[in-house]
Structure 1
């Protein structure tokens, strides 16, 4: 019974940590100025215009990148999320091996309309236990 209680507490802590990690936001500077792409990468944020609404062109570019990733040999796109804003593409999510992180970036750069790539993909380390 103690083991079950301990396991339940650990599961709750892990879940709350995961929720807190996704609760972070990427907001522009309060004064409306934008950082350069290099400064944004160093600060861990993506430089973006004040209006962060996805346009039709952004959605089209996201779909084109996702389609290219799905056609890449040996690449599993199921855990990958693609976000495009004015040609700047951000990849996030998980992949099964380290080679796929580099492969995703190369494939994304080859898509017409992509001006920059921020690769935030991580390795998938398995499920529950």
Structure 2
């Protein structure tokens, strides 16, 4: 009697373990798990993001927006403008200028207006 209960418990445990290992993955996790995570690819992506950030900063400065308190964060073409400007009109102007930079796919503007000296 004890042996049959042990066998039932062991087979039940094996079924649970097998079903946990065969749990279905979402398409997102399956796609990311099959893509090789190479250091060279990640490094190239970071360099491309930095280069795009610099292009946007250069375009903002060339367009007349003071960039000393602006931080540009780029991730795969999506650009976020963060920081503050001393002229309220520069907030919308910065967004329009950033959209014109080649490689920018979207712009999120998180700029705030702050007078000089505050």
Shorter-chain-normalised TM-score: which range?
A: 0.5 to 0.7
1:103 aligns with 2:93: yes
- Map residues 1-129 of structure 1 onto 2, 5 A cutoff: 55-73=46-64, 75-127=65-117
2-structure distance, mates of 1:99, 1:59: 26
- Tell me the TM-score normalised to structure 2 length: 0.60
Larger fraction in helix: 2
2-structure distance, mates of 1:127, 1:78: 13
Note the residue ranges of structure 2 that are not aligned, 5 or more in a row: 1-27, 29-41
> Helix, strand or coil for the counterpart of 1:55?
helix
Note the residue ranges of structure 1 that are not aligned, 5 or more in a row: 1-32, 34-51
Point out the structure with max Rg over C-alpha. Answer: 2
> Helix, strand or coil for the counterpart of 2:81?
strand
2-structure distance, mates of 1:67, 1:127: 24
Query: What's the CA shift string for 1:55-85, capped at 9, x where partnerless?
Result: 1110110000001011113x21111000000
- Tell me the TM-score normalised to structure 1 length: 0.55
Cα RMSD, aligned residues only: 2.2
2-structure distance, mates of 1:61, 1:81: 12
